Amino acid sequence: MSRSVFITATSYPRVILAATMVESIRMLARQYFQLVDPPQLAIPPNNILIQPTVQEALYEHMFNESLTPLPPAPYRARVLKLLLSRIEEAITDPEEDEIHDTLMETWASLLTTPKPPALQQAQQLSKIKYTAPSPGSERTVITSESRGVILSGGTTGNRTWEAALHLGSFLSTPPGAELVRGKRIIELGAGTGFLSLFCARHLDVKNVVCTDREMFLVENMRECVRLNNLEVEGGGNLMVPTIWDWGTPLDLDKTELSDDSSGEGEMEFDIALGADLIYDADIIPLLLSTVRDLFENYAVKEFVIAATLRNERTFQTFLDGCETNSFNVETLTFESTPSEEQTGFFHSTSIPIHTYRITQRI
């Protein structure tokens, strides 16, 4: 029997309203746990915010101290301040309308929380929870990042970049997931390890080796393996972060990996992944010789890379290099969802991001 039989003409809009409310709070919470800049948050309209049940839900899904990982206190304070000001704007009858006690108590407690100096705040590592853009399921990944700094310790890998979120969004679709399902993966210049964590946690890959040249990033990724419950007791791991500076041999003990079926010889992989690696023309020759090395010595069959097209000339240098190396470059037809319509892995689309599948010409 159809469900609509039980919904009367008058209750129908209320059901829709309740569903809209739940969905808008869920979306706001997803953005908040990803530490989306407060002005970009999709805050529900004032007539929804004023409702006591909505304010209670905001507390339970965003500010309750038992939630983990909670965003850093200064960020929580900025978001709560914005919400409280919007709720205040919505008050039309001071006798009836009010701000929920739990939100006021949270505000009072955040106000008395000592604030580290701005520079320290910018450098601090924060736990960030990303949710994949599928509307129904809550496929999440936790990373540890310092967002406030672009370049720290000589690397740009302290934060997850738009290209990684774009590629993650593609991998969260059925054709994207098909590319990696059951495969042995290696990620180059992984930074925070976001893509590898998503593959290991949600995409049924055989295993993933997640590499970067910076030791502190690799240690950070190792901590994220634990944070995302990806550690395997007494055996090889599904995801192994390791140091790899392109142009040097990949030094990895195969027994660290779970389900390794590449036999006695060299490490073998099926697919290599990379995001935002084409930002400096000087590193392109090394990147390309590394991709060649992966094709020729590590059994890699395809390299899938997402690139933010900041500089046409740098990107053309990469394409020319692919031609010189006899690589085929195929554009994957996955468009970024406009920012205001995204439902997860939120990222700016103001600069175009393209995804390519690179293979060796036979």
Ligand X SMILES: C[S@@+](CC[C@H](N)C(=O)[O-])C[C@H]1O[C@@H](n2cnc3c(N)ncnc32)[C@H](O)[C@@H]1O
Considering only CA atoms, which of 201, 181, 186, 229 is closest in space to residue 131?
201
In the complex, the smallest distance separating the C-beta of residue 174 from ligand X, rounded to whole angstroms, is: 23
Q: How far is it, in rounded angstroms, from Cα 255 to Cα 253?
A: 5
Nearer to ligand X, 246 or 327 (CB): 246
Q: How far is the CB of 347 from ligand X (least distance, A)?
A: 10
Nearer to ligand X, 189 or 344 (CB): 189
Report the candidate in 141, 259, 174 with the shortest Cα–Cα distance to residue 208: 259
CB atoms within 10 A of CB 352: 12
Angle between helix 284-297 and 312-324 (nearest 10): 30
Kindly tell me which of 214 and 270 has the beta carbon lying closer to ligand X.
Answer: 214
Nearer to ligand X (CB atom), residue 160 or residue 349? 160
Residue 279 to residue 336: CA distance in whole angstroms: 19
**CA gap 45, 52 in Å, rounded:** 14
CB of 57 to ligand X, least distance (A): 32
Report which residue's Cβ sits closest to ligand X.
Answer: 157
Using CA atoms, how far residue 180 sits from 186, 207, 304, in Å, is: 11, 10, 10
Instruction: Tell me the closest approach of the beta carbon of residue 154 to ligand X, in angstroms.
Output: 8
**Cα(238)–Cα(205) distance, rounded to whole angstroms?**
8
CB of 138 to ligand X, least distance (A): 22
Separation between Cα atoms, residue 176 and residue 171, nearest integer Å: 4
Judged by beta carbon, residue 106 or residue 126, the one nearer ligand X is 126
Minimum gap (Å) between residue 277 Cβ and ligand X: 6
Nearer to ligand X, 107 or 279 (CB): 279
**Token pair recorded at residue 143:** 């990373």
Sort strands 126-131 and 140-145 into parallel, antiparallel or unpaired.
antiparallel
Q: Which residues form the interface with ligand X (CB under 6 A)?
A: 155-157, 160-161, 163-164, 189-192, 194, 212-214, 217, 244-246, 275-277, 279, 283, 286
